[in-house]
Structure formats: structure tokens, C-alpha cells
Amino acid sequence: MDRFDLFVLIIELISITSYAISGSMAAIKKGMDTFGVVMIGVTTSVGGGMIRDIILGITPPKIFFNPVYAIVAAVISLATFLVIYRYARKNSEEFHMNRVMDGILFWLDTIGVGIFTMVGIATAYEISDAWNGFLLCFVGVITGVGGGIMRDILVGNRPYIFVKHFYACASIIGAIVCILLWQISGRIIAMLTGAGVVVILRLLAAKYRWNMPHVPGYDPE
């Protein structure tokens, strides 16, 4: 394993951990049992990568050849469930997790979408024979947001990507920055810069309430 492959593995595991906690917390908020929490956590973590692989013609998707990602996601999801379950049992009268969990979910989503967008671009570069900016950007974005969309659908929420905080637009801009820097600064710097752009834009969008326009009278709740 060379330096770049090790780098990608590390950031993938960070992103999988973020999305596993994000997915399991979303499932907990919906009152799902242990199995449901783990399933949502795993789906959130690997869903974007599975969509990416299908688009790139990698079948079966990589997750089935290297199950370490699904195993890590399942363990993290179960641990999240057990921690929150134990805390809620001990503090049942004081336990109001919605506001706290919403803040944690935002941060985890931000980290996950930033890193996974860059991993999607790296995978597309590896598979594609020719440089294709649209393909790279599309695959990067769908890798970044795909797991979150699947999570929201499975727990019965409107996909966050379509209603709140400049979500997909941040992923698109970060992907473009990464692609433009790829040949100039090198792969690792390009990915770190692109992920940083996504995170900064997401934080600014939350602070200043940036949202895409909605039809009046049909704004998100």
C-alpha cells in the first residue's frame, strides 16, 4: 500500500465513522430498535460508495470485496446505540437529546460529505481512462451525499440535501476545487483543500442561514 492509498483509507474510515454515527443517531431519534439503528448506520456509511461503484461499473460494489468498511460502520453504530441507550436509561427524566443530536448530526454530516466527495473523485480518477470533469464531479458529489439521502429516506425524513443549508452546492463547489487542483498541487493536497472548502461552506451556510430559494408558502419546516 503506497502513501496515497493509506491516506485514502484513513480518510475513508474517518468519514465512515462520521456517517455511521450520523445514521444511527437519526434512527434513534425515530425510535428504531438496535437492528434498525445498525442497519441505518451501515447504509448511511456505505450507501454513497455503492452508488458510486455502480455508476463506474464496479460490480459487485467494492464493499462486498472488502467488508471491513461495513464491519466498522456496524460496530460504530452499535456502540452509538449502546452509549445513548445507557445514558437515556440513567437520565430518563432529564434526557432531551433532539437539540444536542441535531448539532452533532450537522457536524458529522459536514465531515462525511466533505471527505466522501473527495474519495469519490479519487475513485473515478482511478477507474476512468480519460479525464472527464463532469464525470469526476458527478461521482464525487453522489458519493458525498448518497448515504445521507438513503438515511433520510429510510428514516422517513425529507432528504436534507434538498431543503437545508447549501448542502449539495457545497459538495459541488468542493469537488470542482479538488478537480482543478488535482494536476497542479497533487492528489492529497487537492483532496484536503476540496474537503476543507466543503466544510467551510457548510459552516458558513449554517451560521448565515444560506439556503437555496424555495417557492413562497412551501418553505421547509
Q: What is the pLDDT of residue 99?
A: 66
Q: What is the pLDDT of residue 132?
A: 87
Q: What is the pLDDT of residue 83?
A: 92
C-alpha cell at 33: 430498535
Using 50, 70 and 90 to split pLDDT, how confident is the model at 162?
A: confident
The stretch 169-185 carries a mean pLDDT of 95
Please count the other Cβ atoms lying within 10 Å of the Cβ belonging to residue 88.
13
Please count the other Cβ atoms lying within 10 Å of the Cβ belonging to residue 59.
9
pTM of the model: 0.91
Q: What is the pLDDT of residue 148?
A: 92
Q: What is the pLDDT of residue 95?
A: 53
Domain ranges of the chain: 3-208
Q: What is the pLDDT of residue 70?
A: 95
Q: How far apart are CA 210 and CA 218, in angstroms?
A: 17
Q: What is the pLDDT of residue 220?
A: 56
Q: Which amino acid is at 158?
A: R
Identify the three-state secondary structure at position 92.
coil
Of the two residues 214 and 27, the one the predictor is more confident about is 27
Q: Which amino acid is at 139?
A: V
Q: What is the pLDDT of residue 101?
A: 75
* Predicted confidence (pLDDT) per residue in 115-130, tens digit: 999 999 999 998 876 6
Q: What angle do helix axes 133-155 and 34-55 make, rounded to 10 degrees?
A: 160
Report the Cα 71 to chain-centroid distance in Å: 17
* Predicted confidence (pLDDT) per residue in 73-99, tens digit: 999 999 999 999 988 887 765 556 666
Averaged confidence pLDDT in the chain: 89
How many Å from the N-terminal Cα to the C-terminal Cα in the chain?
Answer: 47
Using 50, 70 and 90 to split pLDDT, how confident is the model at 142?
A: very high
